[in-house]
Chains A and B, each alone.
Chain A
Amino acid sequence: MTTARPVTMGAALNTALRDSLRDDDDVLVFGEDVGTLGGVFRITDGLAADFGEDRCFDTPLAEAGIVGFAIGMCLTGFRPVVEMQFDAFAYPAFEQITSHVAKMRNRTSGRVGLPMVIRVPYAGGIGGVEHHCDSSEGYYAHTPGLKVVTPSDAADGYSLLREAIDDPDPVIFMEPKALYWSKQDVELPSRQPAFGKAVVRRRGTDVTLVTYGPSVPMALKAADAAAEEGWSVEVVDLRTIVPFDDQTVMESVARTGRCIVVSEAQGFAGVSGEVAARVSERCFHSLHAPVLRVSGLEIPYPAPMLEKVHLPGVERVLDAIARLQWDDQPDLTYAGGAL
């Protein structure tokens, strides 16, 4: 007997915030437009009304101030959950995040922890104008001391956000905004695997797609399409980029012998490159083909009418699968050219 019902990721995140506010008086939600309006994506909808404006409140429009203020509040025992309105609008807070949020526990020899969550709606696919669609997870993942989390469905949205709020360390909670409205039959409260555990979303035997966040549904579609062409594709959802689950990824690739890392973010010097490097280092003798990446293009995020060209889609994944040396012929894609 299940009471599962269709829930959007946005609603699941809202429920997670509600349940955290209810369970812990020290949890506070603040940021730009999160109060009366309920956030531009309505993730904080109704929280100010239901929990009071001292638990969920609007701040001045200044991201460094929001994050820095949250740091100070942590010193007095609060657990702030702050919202950066959009990925690219979090950059003013970057100094606070990298110089203080990430380092405070370390630079105080463990005496000051910062149990705060910085929620960042990120990535594209919603036709947003410039500065509203960046895949900024790489900046945070590159910074030691930050946990970087990104759900790909409603159940994980709830579970990972609850865990992020309960975590003793600062968490950059990357919300794929294109998935806010995606629905899933789920019974809340849901508790999914803990931080640091990747999940195999689809079993397969020929190739592993390692992906996360906004790219997971697309990778699953690509796996379905590949099945029609006779390939059995496994899809691994990282869920938490930091901590990184080497074990699940490597076990999968060791079984399938082939790996493609799929990310919406531009590939150069990013999370997808890190995953590809780790797989190459650890699974070299299991690999039948080089590890490939299917990522966003190395360009500033394009104007909305062109984002479809930029975003990695099913066809690009299928092309990459086709290049995985199924007949032991060398892949000449990169040979002799400027690449």
Chain B
Amino acid sequence: METTAQAATDALLPSARPVQLLDPSGTEVPQAGTARDYVMPSAARLREVWRAMVIGRRFDIQATALTKQGRLAVYPSSRGQEACQVGATLSVRASDWVFPTYRESMALVTRGIDPVEVLSLLRGDSHCGYDPIATHTAPQCTPLSTQLVHAAGAAYGEQRRGRDSVALAFIGDGATSEGDFHEALNFAAVFESPTIFFVQNNKYAISVPLSKQTKAPSLAYKGIGYGVPAEQVDGNDPAAVLAVMDVALEHARSGKGPFLIEAHTYRLDAHTNADDATRYRSSDEVTTWLDRDPIARVEAWLKAHGELNDDVVAATNAEAEARASELRDRMNAEPKVEPMSLFDNVFAEPTAQLEQARAMVQAELDAEATA
């Protein structure tokens, strides 16, 4: 009996080292000593992920450029985190729920949401440009880790409805220090809510390094305290991200409850365009991570296996360029904002006081128009 209990406890633990299926050169890594068996994804899936990463990175670079042109108020880049943004997102179904943070713009574009709708928040014309119900994608969340308990609740709700949908909740390394992270893991575990907590450990919370957030040997070790199985993965290895997501999804979808993933990755750009990363990290460090590029390694593997040729690479780059160009053009159009809409969605029906305020603003606007 004791052995069984010990085995059940051990089954919660992550691998001692991040799961890696492809090394930075694109060479397959022999699997030994991982906590679970991880299966190399098919070439077709890797090609799909590679393509989405190429498009996603170009989108991300374009979004940062739009801040310089004054078209976005701010943009938190996820350049360098493509394997996480794309790999995790492409692993789930349209009927699953996604709970993104402000850094998940690339993930949302990958999910098929119109990039202009995605950027509405950061352009500043609305708080959320897309329909969360239609897309099963929550608004991008800024108060750190607060969206995780929503994810646990939504996934539990799906389960209560008798559906096999899960929730994929994104979070950064710094936000694991927030109380809601712990409450979400605990609630998800207690209610066996099919929730995947996907931590992108990009090494910095704005400027604060992970060493100042936690003494845990890996953020994945935070799972066992809640009875949540966890894994750590090379977050710059798209093959490993897919493989670990597959295991997590199988676990959640089969009614076994939540799963925690720590993906080791790196934020190549500053926290946002308004941040200066040179104040807290060296360029040597950044260079080291440039060598672990997620796109290059899967591209190398695909080419080595005859699954990708230069023509396809050129065509995909051209498509990414065309999408970025279209996005630029669309973002250059002045967004329409409607002052009278301010009063529309405070409540389902405006209160008398809101109607009075609406009349006051309308009168101000009328006076301006005739002045």
Q: A and B bound?
A: yes
Nearest Cβ on chain B to A98's Cβ, whole angstroms = 9
Residue from A60, A74, A247 in contact with B190 in the complex, judged by beta carbons closer than 8 Å: A60
Q: Chain B contacts of A196 at CB under 8 A? A: 351-352
The reply to whether the CB of A75 lies closer than 8 angstroms to some CB of chain B is yes
Determine if A243 and B150 form an interchain contact, defined as CB atoms under 8 angstroms apart: no
Residue from A103, A105, A111, A243 in contact with B131 in the complex, judged by beta carbons closer than 8 Å: A111
Determine if B146 and A100 form an interchain contact, defined as CB atoms under 8 angstroms apart: yes
Q: Which residue, B146, B344, B345, has most C-beta atoms of chain A within 10 A? A: B345
The reply to whether the CB of A192 lies closer than 8 angstroms to some CB of chain B is no
- Chain B residues 120-155 with CB under 8 Å of chain A are 126-128, 131-134, 138-139, 143, 146, 148-155
Residue from A69, A78, A167 in contact with B152 in the complex, judged by beta carbons closer than 8 Å: A69
Determine if A144 and B346 form an interchain contact, defined as CB atoms under 8 angstroms apart: yes
The reply to whether the CB of A24 lies closer than 8 angstroms to some CB of chain B is no
Q: Which residue, B127, B148, B153, has most C-beta atoms of chain A within 10 A? A: B153
Assembled-state Cα–Cα distance A200/B212 (Å):
59
Assembled-state Cα–Cα distance A109/B318 (Å):
35
Determine if B154 and A108 form an interchain contact, defined as CB atoms under 8 angstroms apart: no
Assembled-state Cα–Cα distance A134/B184 (Å):
27
Task: List the 10 shortest-distance A-B pairs measured between CB atoms, nearest first.
Answer: A72-B153, A68-B149, A76-B157, A65-B183, A107-B127, A72-B154, A69-B153, A168-B348, A110-B345, A72-B150
The reply to whether the CB of B160 lies closer than 8 angstroms to some CB of chain A is yes
Give the size of the chain B interface in residues (CB under 8 angstroms).
Answer: 43
Assembled-state Cα–Cα distance A113/B345 (Å):
9
Nearest Cβ on chain A to B75's Cβ, whole angstroms = 19
Residue from A68, A103, A247 in contact with B153 in the complex, judged by beta carbons closer than 8 Å: A68
Residue from A59, A65, A168 in contact with B184 in the complex, judged by beta carbons closer than 8 Å: A65
Q: Given the known A-B contacts A105-B346, A109-B126, A145-B346, are A68 and B351 also in contact in the complex, defined by CB atoms under 8 Å?
A: no
Determine if A72 and B146 form an interchain contact, defined as CB atoms under 8 angstroms apart: no
Residue from B156, B179, B346, B347 in contact with A69 in the complex, judged by beta carbons closer than 8 Å: B156
Q: Given the known A-B contacts A60-B187, A60-B190, A246-B353, are A95 and B153 also in contact in the complex, defined by CB atoms under 8 Å?
A: no
Nearest Cβ on chain B to A150's Cβ, whole angstroms = 17
Determine if B348 and A65 form an interchain contact, defined as CB atoms under 8 angstroms apart: no
**Additional pairs, 17, CB under 8 Å, beyond known A68-B187, A108-B345:** A54-B160, A64-B149, A64-B179, A67-B149, A68-B150, A69-B149, A69-B150, A72-B152, A73-B157, A75-B150, A99-B146, A100-B146, A106-B345, A107-B128, A108-B127, A111-B134, A113-B348
B 186-230 binary contact with A (CB < 8 Å = 1; else 0): 110011000000000000000000000000000000000000000
Assembled-state Cα–Cα distance A44/B134 (Å):
35
Q: Given the known A-B contacts A112-B133, A113-B348, A145-B346, are A78 and B180 also in contact in the complex, defined by CB atoms under 8 Å?
A: no
Q: Chain B contacts of A54 at CB under 8 A? A: 160
Residue from B97, B131, B191 in contact with A75 in the complex, judged by beta carbons closer than 8 Å: B97
- Chain A residues 76-100 with CB under 8 Å of chain B are 76-78, 92, 95-96, 99-100
Residue from A65, A112, A145, A243 in contact with B353 in the complex, judged by beta carbons closer than 8 Å: A243
Looking across the interface, which residue of chain B has its beta carbon closest to that of A72? Answer: B153
Determine if B153 and A109 form an interchain contact, defined as CB atoms under 8 angstroms apart: no
The reply to whether the CB of A27 lies closer than 8 angstroms to some CB of chain B is no
Q: Chain A contacts of B341 at CB under 8 A? A: 109
- Chain A residues 155-213 with CB under 8 Å of chain B are 167-169, 196
A 142-155 binary contact with B (CB < 8 Å = 1; else 0): 00110100000000
Determine if A76 and B351 form an interchain contact, defined as CB atoms under 8 angstroms apart: no
Determine if B352 and A246 form an interchain contact, defined as CB atoms under 8 angstroms apart: yes
Determine if B347 and A109 form an interchain contact, defined as CB atoms under 8 angstroms apart: no
Assembled-state Cα–Cα distance A227/B14 (Å):
74
Assembled-state Cα–Cα distance A241/B348 (Å):
17
Assembled-state Cα–Cα distance A270/B213 (Å):
38
Chain A interface (Cβ < 8 Å from any Cβ of B): 54, 59-60, 62, 64-65, 67-78, 92, 95-96, 99-100, 103-113, 144-145, 147, 167-169, 196, 242-244, 246-247
Q: Chain B contacts of A70 at CB under 8 A? A: 153
The reply to whether the CB of B305 lies closer than 8 angstroms to some CB of chain A is no
Q: Chain A contacts of B279 at CB under 8 A? A: none
Residue from A59, A68, A73, A169 in contact with B347 in the complex, judged by beta carbons closer than 8 Å: A169
Residue from B97, B134, B146 in contact with A96 in the complex, judged by beta carbons closer than 8 Å: B146
Determine if A62 and B157 form an interchain contact, defined as CB atoms under 8 angstroms apart: no
Residue from B133, B152, B345, B353 in contact with A105 in the complex, judged by beta carbons closer than 8 Å: B345
Nearest Cβ on chain B to A28's Cβ, whole angstroms = 9
The reply to whether the CB of B321 lies closer than 8 angstroms to some CB of chain A is no
Nearest Cβ on chain A to B274's Cβ, whole angstroms = 21
Nearest Cβ on chain B to A113's Cβ, whole angstroms = 6
Q: Chain A contacts of B97 at CB under 8 A? A: 75
Q: Given the known A-B contacts A65-B183, A109-B128, are A75 and B348 also in contact in the complex, defined by CB atoms under 8 Å?
A: no
Q: Given the known A-B contacts A60-B187, A105-B348, are A73 and B128 also in contact in the complex, defined by CB atoms under 8 Å?
A: no
Determine if B154 and A76 form an interchain contact, defined as CB atoms under 8 angstroms apart: yes
Q: Chain B contacts of A96 at CB under 8 A? A: 146, 149, 180
Looking across the interface, which residue of chain A has its beta carbon closest to that of B126? Answer: A109
A-B contact pairs, 23 of them (CB 8 A): A60-B187, A64-B146, A64-B183, A65-B152, A65-B184, A65-B187, A68-B146, A68-B150, A69-B187, A72-B151, A72-B167, A73-B153, A76-B160, A78-B160, A96-B146, A106-B127, A106-B345, A109-B126, A109-B345, A111-B132, A167-B348, A196-B352, A243-B353
Determine if A72 and B157 form an interchain contact, defined as CB atoms under 8 angstroms apart: yes
Looking across the interface, which residue of chain B has its beta carbon closest to that of A111? Answer: B131
B 227-255 binary contact with A (CB < 8 Å = 1; else 0): 00000000000000000000000000000
